[in-house]
Structure 1
């Protein structure tokens, strides 16, 4: 079930953009379908027409639902899963009834995280671990409904396994039990080399008192409070303590998992986890927020020991983090803008040639899309690099003149990429811009340095067109 995520991260780039697939949808429209869900409040009246069992709970001309009624909340979850994802679940009355929209947001973010940190086409196969899946097993179910993913899930064995069987997903979802002292990430126990991601939605509170105090401070009961058992809401150390255990294990496993992720209920928890990343000099991470309705807000954190960087909207998806200075480095920038002119193709070709003239590991330019992907061993466009290469060439020449030294040059394909990038020429209504995206590496200074090169190269490309 597992594939080698680390080796995939080092694959060479190729052109093209791909998509995944829903159970009954063609590969093309899949993402658009799922991303359109819950952009507006659910239409209870339309849902009632599609599901008679939900209609029994609707009042007030088919628009109102009593959220203080656990049975109504349970049926809402079942109906959303049935109508929007073709999924079914059964839950005991004393277990958490998960809000579908919130869980769906987590899956959407995971898809973006994987899609934007790979040289493969979006929608690739992946293997994930849901730590503490709960009785519903909702995350693996939602993930499998939207993508060709497989899951290991740890948690409530009997209920979770029943829901997996209910949806005929036994070949893709494996539910395993864990003891309190077992590793939260059981790769070695399962004899698995690596997987693509972990996810968890841990209990928020460190004590029953903290949970009750939080509930007392709310203007109305939380969406699922009426159906959650204490074991699902309280854990030693709260959510920070739980995620810290995962973090400590990640320091050992490192690149064997591309992305370690977690959802938290408090912004303060997000800040504490980011502090741990900085403490251990982990620079590749992402933060975001999920909004459910007008009040409920959750946050998520992801970190990686691999070099592939997420898109900017994926990595910096929360405005709340601005005031706390916890956002990761920028990964996208505009290097150049000019008024819209004729012969944009000629300008783009000149710019591509300037990039190709650099000493790169690879450079692939798509003339139709006016964009290209490149990989470099370092800041090869910079003056320090050119001076260093000149010194190395002189030293090599001296060795050859003395009759010693190795005269063979290493193959560019064997060189390590320290800066992967994408360059795109974008045409708007009244202007043309050159956009740069940081794809790979750990040197955040490289993006700004590359931006300066692109600006100079773009200006020269314009001048060359004028001379032609």
Structure 2
């Protein structure tokens, strides 16, 4: 997660945690390890991490899922990267703006309400809406939100199993920034048992989840397919719809569904924490495109399931960066759209309403945009020196980052135009 420090990049030091938290010290084994087959020990690890690292208090029933804090934080960090690199108000870089208000919807928040708790603690300007269908989990979720003084930042709604997954109107929300969910993995109790029997080694931690948290008709892919269907009428009311998947094979099924429904902007990520690996998929009906490292960050996912790369090296030339920058500035300024160039930093951001650079566009009368035209294609251009190799002349490269739009052919055409303009002088 490049945009924010992941405090759990290294394994948790249990000895250190025990020295800081007496309740955790009481459950630590003599060899300095946690008994992950014991539900109380697993719960205490989660409670102690939340207390030490986020100042949060958690109460959980013994018969509901106990969330692993590092894995949940990883999902939120990926969403942060997704939002930061696809903002409707792009700057000259993709840095995180800690003052930007953000609203997220947690579908199936569970007894812990872990995502709103973590999100509100980690991001002071984030707010959440949460749903759950299970009355028992809902009661504990409300308690956890209340006892952490987050009632003014978290809105709860108990929903029905056959009701909408994304009830924005019932929550009184017009627009939000993202949705997140950990859908049940399994299609039936038999599927759950069969999956466990196929594992080559025992699970790393005991599972206390109720059937409503583990099983849903059709499994996680059917659950996400419902979300995709509901996302269509919501459209641009939600910047990013996201879901975490527990099975690698589910990724291709979900991407196929997205393509069939006409989605042109999606992202696939991979969350790895110790032995646990999960995959995250996001899709948007808005044309703001995330960075490659966010949208194509899943190892082992088929290339056809990944979105078109949003970044390309347009050209490399043996010319000083300052001269290349002037050529880029002149070329883009002549297109007639919106263009801001920082000569000192060697970076610029621009928007055009349509293709105004190709011969075909000129024959059709393409030219300066008229007042009121939508800036349908957005881009960021970097001009920077390439690390010099021995016995080779110094080079400058021009990298084009696709910021906005649905037409990959237009993006490639723009990169080709930049290449020609830089090389022609």
Please say whether Structure 1 and Structure 2 have the same fold, judged by a TM-score greater than 0.5. yes
Q: Is 1:125 equivalent to 2:101 in the alignment? A: yes
> Which one of 395, 406, 421 corresponds to residue 457 of structure 1?
421
User: Using the alignment, how far apart are the partners of 2:177 and 2:42 within structure 1?
Assistant: 33
Partner residue in 1 for 2:131: 154
Number of matched residues?
407
Q: Is 1:194 equivalent to 2:175 in the alignment? A: yes
User: Using the alignment, how far apart are the partners of 1:185 and 1:270 within structure 2?
Assistant: 21
Q: Could you tell me which runs of 5 or more consecutive residues in structure 2 were left unpaired when the two chains were aligned.
A: 389-394
TM value normalised by structure 1: 0.82
Partner residue in 1 for 2:392: none
Q: 1:422 to 1:449 in 2, by over 3 A?
A: same
Larger helix fraction of residues? 1
Q: Which moved more, 1:203-212 or 1:190-199?
A: 190-199
> Which one of 136, 146, 150 corresponds to residue 112 of structure 2?
136
Partner residue in 2 for 1:24: none
Partner residue in 2 for 1:422: 380
Give the deviation of 1:377 after TM superposition: 1.1
Q: 1:272 to 1:112 in 2, by over 3 A?
A: same
User: Using the alignment, how far apart are the partners of 1:335 and 1:177 within structure 2?
Assistant: 51
Equivalent pair of 2:157/2:171 in contact (CA under 8 Å): no
Alignment of 1:54-203 (within 5 A): 54-62=24-32, 64-120=33-89, 122-123=96-97, 124-147=100-123, 148-155=125-132, 156-203=137-184
Question: SS of the residue aligned with 1:329?
Answer: coil
Q: Which deviations, in whole Å up to 9, do the C-alpha atoms of 1:334-391 show, x marking residues without a partner?
A: 11223574xx33431332122111121x10112232111111112222221122127x
User: Using the alignment, how far apart are the partners of 1:277 and 1:36 within structure 2?
Assistant: 30
Q: 1:57 to 1:220 in 2, by over 3 A?
A: farther
Q: Which moved more, 1:222-231 or 1:437-446?
A: 222-231
User: Using the alignment, how far apart are the partners of 1:177 and 1:119 within structure 2?
Assistant: 32
Partner residue in 1 for 2:391: none
Partner residue in 1 for 2:8: 38
User: Using the alignment, how far apart are the partners of 1:291 and 1:31 within structure 2?
Assistant: 14
Partner residue in 1 for 2:237: 256
User: Using the alignment, how far apart are the partners of 1:187 and 1:376 within structure 2?
Assistant: 33
Q: Is 1:365 equivalent to 2:378 in the alignment? A: no
RMSD: 2.1
Q: Could you tell me which runs of 5 or more consecutive residues in structure 1 were left unpaired when the two chains were aligned.
A: 1-29, 394-408, 464-468
User: Using the alignment, how far apart are the partners of 1:410 and 1:338 within structure 2?
Assistant: 31
Q: Which deviations, in whole Å up to 9, do the C-alpha atoms of 1:205-224 show, x marking residues without a partner?
A: 11001111111222444345
Partner residue in 2 for 1:303: 283
> Which one of 214, 224, 227 corresponds to residue 246 of structure 1?
227
TM value normalised by structure 2: 0.90
Q: Which moved more, 1:81-90 or 1:260-269?
A: 81-90
> Which one of 383, 393, 406 corresponds to residue 442 of structure 1?
406
Alignment of 1:303-342 (within 5 A): 303-322=283-302, 325-339=304-318, 341=320
Question: SS of the residue aligned with 1:271?
Answer: helix
